Amino acid sequence: MKKEMICIMCPMGCNMTVTEENGEIQVTGNTCIRGANFAKEEMTCPKRVVTTSVKTSAGVKSCKTTQAIPKSMIFDCMKEIEKLRLKKVKFGQVIIKNILGTGADVVVTADD
């Protein structure tokens, strides 16, 4: 299998070619190891940081996961955040610890 992708790990945006044969992944076109690691992860278990909002007594506030979680779990993560109704929040406050066992916390990214 052969796949073309653009690396998002730095501003260079390298055009990479990823080939997989017999379970072995080869990456070309990357200019650094971060690109190769990104491409291999995208092929085996893609991950993303979830950035969304949470309802509070002062309105809607932004929040995000502290690290990338498996892409397949994004919608389940969003459902957990949607259940919350918080009072006063502040920047950096953890509102869900270890969401869905991913090791990522959900933190507030804006003050009330």
Q: Report whether 91 contacts 109 (CB < 8 A).
A: yes
One domain for residues 60 and 94: yes
Rounded average pLDDT over 4-17: 94
- CA 90 remoteness from chain centre: 22
Domain around 34: 2-44
One domain for residues 38 and 60: no
One domain for residues 63 and 36: no
Taking only the tens place, the pLDDT of each residue in 11-25 is: 999 999 999 999 899
How many independent structural domains does the chain possess?
Answer: 2
* CA 87/CA 56 separation, integer angstroms: 5
One domain for residues 28 and 75: no
One domain for residues 29 and 56: no
Per-residue confidence (pLDDT) for residue 86, from 0 to 100: 93
Whole-model pTM: value is 0.81
One domain for residues 61 and 91: yes
One domain for residues 18 and 35: yes
Q: Report whether 70 contacts 52 (CB < 8 A).
A: no
